[in-house]
Amino acid sequence: MKEYLASAVRSISECIRFDSSLQKHTQTAPFGHGCLACLEYFLSLAEGMGFTTHNYDGYVGEVVFGEGPEEFAILCHLDVVPAGSGWTKDPFGGAVEDGKIWGRGAIDDKGPAVCCLYALKALKDEGFVPSKRIKLIVGCNEESGWACIDHYKEVATMPEVGFSPDADFPVIYAEKGILHVRLHFRMERAPFLFLEGGSSANMVCDYCEATPRSLSVTRAKGLGLEISAKKIYSHGKSAHGSTPEKGENAILPILRFFDEKSDVVHHAIACLFDDVYGLRQFKDETGNLTLSPNIVKYRKNDLQFTCDIRYPATMSVEDVHEALKRFGVPYETVHHQKPLMCDKHSPLITTLLGVYEECTGRHATPIAIGGGTYARALKHGVAFGPEMPGDPAVIHQADEYITIERVELLLDIYKKAIERLTK
């Protein structure tokens, strides 16, 4: 696969240059012009390789290889979370430096999507004839709602079996349920005139600011807050919403500043950060429940928190709702995805494990994660790469990157996996 490496690196870099975060909806671009342009670029790249492609109304695209009676899916996404703050590289520059390709989406999920496309090209160039109709499906709304998958299921046929290169190796057999809720903490005469932070429900808040009614410089500095023009600011560290422990939530220091001045703020901290009602104690083999308040807004006596909850795969969403009722505040569901649980000994999983072990020389067993992937859009789907055990956490963080060495490995892994699952 070395002969495809340079081209794959260049294509990943070019793909990163599109800001495909969720933007203003238009009639022709449901998720904004950046997403549409990135989708058109990817499909044009595939057409140049000789593949049949389909653009389903700017929601989702498809690259087709083979004519078999059965279908096999490779599910990727081209949209990204907002860049956020703290970058030392241009988040949409696609710079290739220090053995890495830098930019938002490099590893989540543009890099893996491009690698899968070049894996298909390599198989096609070798004259491989799949026994199944392979569909490389690239969505544009994975990070903020999955409207792309909903649209695809309306206008096309989703295969029952496949994988999504949008998580971790060796192979993911289970994914926690995902629940995004917006909680409302009602308050009269709040101790602040303005309070806001966070940009995405599934991304740990890395910046928050507020305008206090009265400003205690000593207290603000004691909490590590910045002060400017009667405002206070908090900087944190972004991380994926499924792993909030890897980040530093910028909302908490701001709330701590007002803790002594408001029982409502005190209650919000107790519920959302101190876990006084024990939601994070729920657990199974997929891990503990996580709750990450990632967006905060104050509007007309209403302190709103949008929270990312990942609940154990054997737990029901009704159990989570019962637990949330203990907070004693109104809330609504913004987004929900059921958990994924697959048989660890299925042919799909054992084949992918075999490819991973062959290409890496590492013995492995299937794992469970808190993240959610397109795999759960399939009747029998799993997540497969691109992150390795021990990798630095860069997804949804500043200075996201994928190494060129990893690109080379992904080309090899995905080529072998696709060939063995569709021969």
d(CA 41, CA 111): 14
The rounded mean pLDDT for the chain is: 96
Task: Name the token pair of 209.
Answer: 């600011």
The confidence score (pLDDT) of residue 293 equals 98
Percentage of the chain with pLDDT > 70? 100
**Looking at residues 129-144, what average pLDDT do you find?**
96
Same domain, residue pair 220 and 303 = yes
Task: Name the residue among 43, 13, 23, 108 with its Cα closest to residue 400.
Answer: 108
- Told to judge if 196 belongs to the known catalytic residues of this protein, a careful annotator would answer no
| Number of domains the chain contains | 2
Q: Show the tokens assigned to 308.
A: 């990312």
CATH number reported for the structural domain that contains residue 234 in this entry: 3.30.70.360
Phi and psi dihedrals of 227, rounded to 5? -130, 135
Which of 287, 304, 337 terminates a domain? The answer is 337
Mean pLDDT of 69-77: 97
Which of 309, 337, 365 is the endpoint of a domain?
Answer: 337
Q: Same domain for 358 and 383?
A: yes
Shared-domain flag, residues 123 and 250 = no
Spatial CA neighbour of 423 closest among 356, 330, 355: 355
- C-alpha distances out from residue 359 to 345, 348, 377, Å: 20, 17, 27
For residue 146, pLDDT beyond 90:
yes
156 and 182 together in one domain = no
Tokens of 114: 């491009």
Global pTM exceeds 0.85: no
Please name which of 329, 166, 188 lies closest in space to residue 240, comparing C-alpha atoms.
166
Could you confirm whether 142 is annotated as catalytic? yes
Per-residue pLDDT averaged across 370-375, rounded? 88
- In order, the DSSP letters of 263-289 are HHHHHHHHHHTS-TT-GGG-EETTEE-
DSSP string spanning 204-230?
---EEEEEESS--HHHHHHTT-EEETT
Nearest Cα to 340, choosing from 175, 101, 170? 175
Residue 292 sits in which domain range? Answer: 177-337
Q: Is the pLDDT of residue 8 over 90?
A: yes
- What's the CA gap between 421 and 352, in Å, rounded? 9
- Is the predicted pLDDT of residue 234 greater than 90, yes or no? yes
Distance, in Å, from the CA atom of 359 to the CA atom of 26, rounded to the nearest integer, reads 44
**Mean pLDDT along residues 319-323:** 97
Residues 108 and 32 placed together within one structural domain of the fold? yes
Residue where a domain terminates, one of 291, 317, 337: 337
Average of per-residue pLDDT across 79-85:
93
Name the active-site residue from 79, 109, 143, 387. Answer: 79
Name the one residue in this structure whose structure tokens are 């997403």. 35
Average pLDDT over residues 194-223: 96
Instruction: Please check whether residue 368 is in contact with residue 168, taking contact to mean a CB–CB distance below 8 angstroms.
Output: no
In this structure, the answer to whether residues 348 and 294 fall within a common structural domain is no
What's residue 273's pLDDT? 98
Confidence of residue 15 (pLDDT cuts 50, 70, 90): very high
Looking at the fold, whether 365 and 315 belong to one and the same domain comes out as: no
Q: Which of 108, 142, 209, 387 is catalytic?
A: 142
Instruction: Return the CATH number at 170.
Output: 3.40.630.10
* pLDDT surpasses 90 at 279: yes
Across 280-377, where does the E strand assignment appear? 283-284, 287-288, 290-299, 302-311, 331-337, 340-341, 367-369
Round to whole Å and give the CA distance between 114 and 128: 19
The string of pLDDT tens digits covering residues 375-396 is 999 999 999 999 999 999 899 9
Amino acid, single-letter form, for residue 126: E
